[in-house]
Amino acid sequence: MELEELLKKFKEYSAQDTTVLEYAWSYSSEAHNEQHRASGEMYFVHCAAVAEILVDYKMDQETVAAGLLHDVLEDTKISPETFGKEFGSEILNLVTGVTKIETLRFSSRDEAQAENWRKMILATAKDIRVIVIKLADRLHNMRTLNFLPREKQLEISHETISLYAPLAQRLGIFQLKSELEDLSFKYLFPDEYQSLLTKVQLRYAMREKLLQDFKLAVETHLGGTQIPHRVLSRAKNLYSIYRKMLRQEKPFEEIQDALGVRIITDSIVNCYALLGTVHSVFKPVAGSFTDYIAVPKMNLYQSLHTSVMAASGEIIEIQIRTEDMHRTSEYGIAAHWRYKMGDKGADRHLDEKLNWLRQWMEWLQDLSSPREFIESFKTDLELDQIFIFTPKGEVKPLPEGATPLDFAYMIHTDIGNTCIGAKVNNKMSRLDHPLKSGDLCEIITRRSSAPKKDWLGIVKTAGARSHIRKYLREHGQLQD
């Protein structure tokens, strides 16, 4: 990519003056002038590629500049003081944050790896853009992994699929998450990857007409509604299909919803109107409807999900969302940084939207054991959510495997601390009972009751664990 092309793409979504970007390009190019990658190409090609990924995610100028410069402090003799004078504290802090991650080694799968991830999360908690730069850096490294020895490929791919891809998912950056997963899958299980790729390509060639017929039928019926919309076809990424095959213990041929469509419209009201139209034309699959608009996922994701039977008998998954929801589903957290540039009023609720992430970071910070930290980190990264009802009909999202005790702390710290039991669907239940989506959970409390040490082995969420540890520490029952 050339500078002119980068600037052109950046100016398509930003009115910021590009002087800093141009200077960052020439500065990084000069700093890495004599360095080469394993492929033999100039090292700066990698820096430019990272910047291009950040521009694709429509990040602000400071982030893109930091992407160009992300390896300068680590790989050259330029000091932080000199760098800071050239680019200011904001870009210096971003590059320093990425450099801190670079110096951590995650290759071993023991306490040291857990402690490194702990340091990374805490180092980047102040500015989420650091993680976005690191994800862009990792994506380009994965795209060029074929130049490294096999042992290194396996090490980097394992780290990517177990921690970087889930982190991208937690931030709602699904495009990036899917590519990281598929690239890791390609190196970790090359035979399975190639076999699945061949089958998927064959199936899509055969199902192309089915999809076109389905889209045409949708268009025909939606056309008369006067509701603005566009229909996009969507193929699931290979790794998610592979995981589904393992989970359901089925061959690829029996996996139903590897194909789907997205219907994008202009308002929430129209999302529900389109859902009604789709269900009146095609038979919905029982139990397949999920409303992520009324109850968004923790990473801001919103859509209506339903599966319907096509005329051919095939099941097709449909997602219905607004343009704004679609952008968030593609770019996640990254989509919201754009509003910080210029139009300050465009997303006044950005801080509220990012509150869950800051809260999560604080909870993780409270965990003293590296092993406990990494387990909690991975649990909370799992975005297979369940939805639990309170007796008043409110819905609370929790990670899969969460218990009534997690639910109690989700409602309020005091409810959790004084919990003595729970009723699930009007029947008494153990506190360690795994909840299922749709369960009605009522927490029973006693004012004189208090958290117990064995609760730490019952709860799944970082928030609940943090509150229990805090109470036990304050009452001298837990030594850090």
Active site residues: 74-75
- Non-local CB neighbours of 66 within 8 Å, separated by 6+ positions: 24, 91, 94, 95, 98, 129, 133
Q: Which two tokens stand for residue 46?
A: 């990698």
Phi, psi angle pair for 442, to nearest 5°: -115, 125
Number of H helices, E strands in the chain: 21, 11
Residue 449 DSSP code = -
The amino acid sitting at 341 is M
CB atoms within 10 A of CB 100: 18
Q: Vertex 308, ends 267 and 178: CA angle to 5°?
A: 70
What residues does 231 pair with on adjacent strands? 263
Q: Where are the alpha helices (DSSP H) in 259-402?
A: 268-281, 323-331, 333-337, 350-365, 370-381
Find tokens 């092309």 and name the residue: 5
Q: Distance between CA atoms of 355 and 297, rounded to whole angstroms?
A: 13
Give the β-pairing of 315-322 and 259-265.
Answer: parallel
- Report helix, strand or coil for 220: helix
Complete edge-to-edge strand list for the sheet that includes strand 427-429: 427-429, 419-424, 441-445
What gap in Å lies between CA 269 and CA 262, rounded to an integer?
16
- 334 Cβ contact list (under 8 Å, min separation 6): 57, 58, 59, 132, 171, 173
Distance, CA of 223 to chain centre: 34
> Which helix (H) or strand (E) covers residue 341, if one does?
none
Per-residue HEC secondary structure of 295-316 comes to: CCCCCCCCCEEEEEECCCCCEE
Q: How far is residue 222's CA from residue 229's CA, in Å, rounded to a whole number? A: 8
Closest by Cα among 110, 7, 126, 109 to 55? 7
- Paired with 440 in beta bridges are 389
Which helix (H) or strand (E) segment is 158 a member of? helix 150-159
Distance CA 347, CA 98 (A): 26
